[in-house]
Structure formats: C-alpha cells, structure tokens
Amino acid sequence: MSLDLTDRVRPALVGFEPYDPAFTPCEVNLSANENTHELPPVVREAINAALVSTPLNRYPDPLANDLRDVLAARHGVERGSVMVGNGGDEILFNLFFAFGGAGRSLVTCPPDFSEYANFATMCEMPVKCVWRDADTFAIDADALVEATKDAAMAVVTSPNNPTGDLVDHALIRRLLDETNALVLVDEAYVEFAPEGSSVVSWVADNPRLMVLRTLSKAFALAGLRCGYLVADPSIIDKLSAIRQIYSVDVLAQATAIAAVNEREALRPVVDDIKAERERLSLLLGNIPGLRQWPSEANFILVRVPDASRVRQLLRDEFSILVRDFSYAPGLTDCLRITVGTRQENDRLVEALTELMKGEA
C-alpha cells in the first residue's frame, strides 16, 4: 500500500503531477519548439573546446560572472543587470518565489505559457487571468492594465507561446506608466521576431521592467538548461540571494559562454527558420479545413477538426510529433507545430494534407 501524502504535502502543492510532455520517439519531432537544425560547426567546435578544458572537480562560480559579462555585453548592460538560471523556467519560479506569496498576485493572459500559473500557484501567489480574445487571441489591453493595478506582477509573452503573436510595445508602456507592478516580458522566442521587437533596451530607464531570455530556442541549447533575466540590479540582487546557488553548472556556463560568443554563426540558422515559417504557413494555407494564426516565433498554432486524433495519426502513421493543445482552455482542437528544417516541414505538410483529405 502506498503512502497517503494528502495531509503531509504543503497545501499549495496538492494536485500537482510530474510534467509529462507526452513525448514518443518519432523520426520528426516538431513538438517542443526546439531548434531542430544542426549547430553550425564553428559553434559546435567552440563548445567542444570549452567543455574539454573545463575542470569538474571544483564548484561552479555561483553567480556565473563570466557568463553574465558575455550576456551583458550582448545587450549593452552592466553585469549587475543580468542573472542566469537553470533555464528560463528556474528564473520564473524564483521571481514568483521572491515577489509573490499570499496577497501578491500575478496577472497573465492565457492561453499562454502554462508554467506561469503553475509556478505562481506553487509559490502561493494568486493568479489573475485576463483571457485573450477567443477567436483572434488578441490581448484586451484595458482589461490587462486594470487587472494589473492591484497586482504584484504582470507577465506578457512576446512572441506568445502558443499563439505566436508579439505584444504591442504601447501596452508594455502602459503597464509601466499606469500601474506600480513589476512587469515581466518573456522574450523566449524574440530572436525569431522582426528586428526591434525586444524591449530589453528599455530596462535601463524602467526599473520595474524585467526581460526573460533563454538559450533553449534560437541558440539550439534546450538540453543545456540556461536562461537569463535582464532587470534592475536591485531585482537581480534579490534573486541572486534566494536562488539555488549552483543550479547553473560548470559545463553549462562554459557551453553558454562559447555559444553566445559565436552567436553570429547562428544567425543564418535563425534566418532559415524564419523563412521556413513563412513557407510552412503558405503551405498550411492550402490545406482545406485548417485554420492557422500568424506567428513571429518558431512555431505555428493551427486548428483542425478532431485535433487529438490528427496528432495521434501523425505520430502513429507518419512518425511526426506535434504538440496537442486541444485539452487546454481556449485552445479547442489546436495543435502547435514547431517550424523544423525544410525536409521536416515538407514531411509534415504532406502528412497533414493526406490526413485532412475530405475535410471542409
């Protein structure tokens, strides 16, 4: 008989279950918004050299100062404005842990990244949802500003996962000007958006603005677990005081430094994904019965009749994995398709076309 933990677990944590991305090995995996391209050889070689010369017997630099310096230089800020974490996820958790708690709410705009609500709830931070338009997924700007007025923090995702749209800069401006909340802009996918989409350069003049970035998407390093926050030094200091001190290990620090230093070599890869996104979108547009939303990220959200079944057939008959969101509130019959390589995208379109024959 297994142990009943109901009365032992912290009440805020009852009901949480292990994260299951429903991963099945497939020939084509377009399910997790990873960068599916090969790393350019110059990046791979720089990483290999860094790994080989990193001793493992010593503890990591807990603040990862060398990595912070490289990231700070990337964004033209001081080291004191940057904190690294074990993926962006850890930073999200730490933000809610530090600035949340009973009576300090988080405002989010679902459908968005479900970890916001999960982590906030774990940190006993009340979650206020300002739902996007059910049809267009547009944010109701007035409602968001109003809800944020008595909140501790608002999070907007730009481009948003899974809807793919950017947040209007004017809305971020309003959140900063018309509320007193901390404003988190999650830019996990911003490298795939047009030049000028990031608000990271605003941080210097807006101490309540925090920008989250990650090496998991454009940098093709999802397995590394490295993300970072650009924010006012007072916020970085507080987060540095409460974080797990060694969560970014020596191999991750060395790899991240090499990759960020070689970032120019990654530009053609990102450009290819952006071009493929446009091509994939055109091809999807030819499939009868499929609806898609415009995306500035490395994925496209689509709606198809009986999406769960379509996903299952893609997996079982074509060995292609996409993410099923059809169970999620507001995302009935939606699938999220990561933009892959040209060959992967062609395979997906061919399979979807076959499965959707006779629809509409």
Ligand X SMILES: *Cc1c(COP(=O)(O)O)cnc(C)c1O
Q: Which is nearer to ligand X, 123 or 351 (CB)?
A: 123
Element (H, E) at 214: strand 209-214
Q: Which of residues 128-147 bind ligand X (CB under 6 A)?
A: none
Of the candidate spans 103-111, 193-201, 214-222, 319-327, the one that interacts with ligand X by CB under 6 A turns out to be 214-222
Assess 161 for contact with ligand X (CB under 6 A).
Answer: yes
Nearest distance from residue 214's CB to ligand X, in Å? Answer: 3
Q: Which is nearer to ligand X, 157 or 347 (CB)?
A: 157
Residues 6+ apart with CB under 8 A from 9: none
Give the count of beta carbons closer than 10 Å to the beta carbon of residue 248.
28
Nearest distance from residue 188's CB to ligand X, in Å? Answer: 4
Crossing angle of the two packed helices 115-122 and 87-99, in degrees rounded to 10: 40
Q: Is the sign of the CA dihedral 320, 225, 242, 239 positive or negative?
A: negative
Which one of 34, 89, 262, 276 is in contact with ligand X (CB under 6 A)?
A: 89
Of the candidate spans 69-77, 83-91, 103-111, 234-242, the one that interacts with ligand X by CB under 6 A turns out to be 83-91
Q: Which is nearer to ligand X, 297 or 349 (CB)?
A: 297
Assess 157 for contact with ligand X (CB under 6 A).
Answer: yes
Q: Which is nearer to ligand X, 84 or 250 (CB)?
A: 84
Nearest distance from residue 223's CB to ligand X, in Å? Answer: 9
Which one of 60, 100, 227, 340 is in contact with ligand X (CB under 6 A)?
A: 227
Q: Which is nearer to ligand X, 16 or 288 (CB)?
A: 16
Do residues 220 and 188 make contact, with C-beta atoms less than 8 angstroms apart?
A: no
How far apart CA 41 and CA 39 sit, in angstroms, is 6
Q: Which is nearer to ligand X, 130 or 351 (CB)?
A: 130
Q: Which is nearer to ligand X, 88 or 100 (CB)?
A: 88
Amino acid identity, position 257: I
How far apart CA 86 and CA 247 sit, in angstroms, is 6
Is residue 108 helix, strand or coil? strand
Which one of 63, 129, 204, 222 is in contact with ligand X (CB under 6 A)?
A: 222
Do residues 147 and 174 make contact, with C-beta atoms less than 8 angstroms apart?
A: no
Which one of 47, 68, 81, 87 is in contact with ligand X (CB under 6 A)?
A: 87
Size of the site for ligand X (CB under 6 A): 12
What's the token pair of residue 104? 């300090």
Q: Which of residues 340-359 bind ligand X (CB under 6 A)?
A: none
How far apart CA 86 and CA 281 sit, in angstroms, is 33
Is residue 335 helix, strand or coil? strand
| Torsion angles phi and psi, residue 148, rounded to 5 | -80, -15
Which one of 81, 198, 216, 255 is in contact with ligand X (CB under 6 A)?
A: 216
Nearest distance from residue 114's CB to ligand X, in Å? Answer: 9
Write down the residue that tokens 């030094």 correspond to.
Answer: 233
Please provide the DSSP assignment of 144-178 as one string.
HHHHHTT-SEEEEESS-TTT-PPPPHHHHHHHHHH
Binding mask 171-190 for ligand X (x = CB under 6 A): ---------------x-x--
Is residue 101 helix, strand or coil? coil
Contact set with ligand X (CB under 6 A): 87-89, 113, 157, 161, 186, 188, 214, 216, 222, 227
